[in-house]
Amino acid sequence: MKNLLVLSVLTLTLTACLEDERTSSLTLGTAPFTAAEMEVLNEQLDLGEVVFQREVDLPLHIGQFTTPDGKLHQEPEDLTKALLGRVLFYDTQLSATGETSCASCHKQELAFGDDLAFSKGINGGHTKRNSIALASVPSFANEVSGYGETSMDGNSFSQGSVAFFWDERAATIKEQSTLTIQDRVEMGRDLEELANDLKQQEMYRILSRKAYGTEDLTADRITLALEKFCATISSMDSPFDDMMDAMMMPNGAVELEGFTEAEQMGHTLFTENCGSCHGFNMTQPVLPIANNGLDRLSTDLGVGEHRGREFNGVFKVPFLRNVALTAPYMHDGRFATLREVIDHYSEGIQRHENLSANLRDFTNGSGAPRRMNFTEEEKQALIAFLEMTTDRSVLTDASLSDPFRSK
């Protein structure tokens, strides 16, 4: 096994205020590279400490319903590909002009999101929609997502009823990566041409050999590696998870004393008004897609572009982990702050023909847009609660960071 490479991971420690402290266990392995290979890799990369296997204790409210032992296991065969994916994720060679990488629109310090309403593409172009933050999900790993399906190619991960992009036109992460790399505005790179170029580079021949046992780095292997890297991005170490775990304890009321009144009020308001779409434990959304009443008429058809008029103005229901870091908000980045988002749901929902039933008021049979009419105290409580979803580890985890020494 001495030639088996696993993802470069510096110590990742997940802490919690509960007695069952969450931790990540790393088993050190033998040197995955020869001295000659390291000399080549070190010319461009700083991979840090290499480990043989990664095991993460999941929060109680996630772990007990997902994996048999409440742990996320990331095996060598996946982590070898993830390391290759990490290098690819940060490499501007993936764009036709060398201007952008995946990380250009998915910045680690912003929970792998972007602070622009429309991200910068190549040749002065901008994306059609706001970049979705990758670290807004607990983890793309099958065990955690709860969807756990394998696509027709036998390798790629599909989240079942949850697809990718705001209009859900991609069924898998691999397909999303393919469309992004080849999009004429975003990266404009032909994948076959990219694969041929990377195969000429010794650095990628080494990484491909360790990941796949061959230097033949094909287009399919490039997108699979990117998918495996995404599966190592996890956001399960937040005060929100601490609160959810505390509520499951026999003395839950006592455990909750560690949270402010505003945070507890915000949780109640979220559960009563937001959880029916976004998911009560923020592990998976209840509704995969919905129209949330941003406009009376849709200028961006969203899912309707490929599924017909009854889906006009319908978009992906996003995960909300790290949401305090992922402004601007909505598919078009129209709201700059969480307060603006809450104001919209409080008193600004518009009567769209496809408005979600969860946002309609049927008390008088009218189906008019709901008016939640939050008080100022309630709005501040919701903000306090949403800020609790910020993960303690993902923003600085060295195993997810830019591995290039300089560009």
What was the pLDDT predicted at 141?
A: 81
Cα 189-194-195 angle, rounded to 5 deg: 145
pLDDT bin (cut points 50, 70, 90) of residue 284 is confident
Beta-strand runs (E) in 311-374: 315-316, 360-361, 368-369
Q: Is the dihedral of CA 246, 397, 149, 180 positive or negative?
A: positive
Candidates 386, 379, 236; CA nearest to 320 is 386
Indicate the range of 2-16, 128-142, 156-170 predicted with least confidence.
2-16
For residues 170 and 176, the answer to whether their CB atoms sit within 8 Å is: yes
Beta-strand relationship, 71-74 and 53-57: antiparallel
What was the pLDDT predicted at 358?
A: 96
pLDDT over 60 at 377, yes or no: yes
pLDDT tens per residue, range 200-210: 999 999 999 99
pLDDT over 60 at 7, yes or no: no
pLDDT over 50 at 162, yes or no: yes
End-to-end CA distance of the chain: 33
Start-end of H helices in 199-251: 202-212, 219-230, 239-247
Q: Which residues contact 104 (CB under 8 A, 6 or more apart)?
A: 92, 119, 120
pLDDT over 70 at 17, yes or no: no
pLDDT cut 90: percent of the chain above it: 72
pLDDT over 70 at 22, yes or no: no
pLDDT over 60 at 184, yes or no: yes
Q: Which residues contact 339 (CB under 8 A, 6 or more apart)?
A: 379, 383
pLDDT tens per residue, range 76-123: 889 999 999 999 999 999 999 999 999 999 999 999 999 999 999 999
pLDDT over 90 at 337, yes or no: yes
What was the pLDDT predicted at 309?
A: 95
pLDDT over 60 at 12, yes or no: no
pLDDT bin (cut points 50, 70, 90) of residue 66 is confident
Tell me how far CA of residue 286 lies from CA of 146, 316, 363, 384, in angstroms. Answer: 12, 11, 22, 23
What was the pLDDT predicted at 142?
A: 73
Buried b (16+ CB within 10 A) or exposed e, 176-187: bbbbbbbbebbb
Give dist(CA 28, CA 51) in Å, integer.
Answer: 5
Q: Give 383 or 68, the one with higher predicted confidence.
A: 383
pLDDT over 70 at 316, yes or no: yes
pLDDT over 50 at 302, yes or no: yes
User: Taking the CB of residue 401, how many other CB atoms lie within 10 A of it?
Assistant: 18
What the block records as the tokens of 131 is 């970049």
Q: Which domains does the chain have, with CATH numbers?
A: 24-235+393-400 (1.10.760.10), 239-387 (1.10.760.10)
Q: Give 407 or 337, the one with higher predicted confidence.
A: 337
What was the pLDDT predicted at 364?
A: 85
For residues 91 and 404, the answer to whether their CB atoms sit within 8 Å is: yes
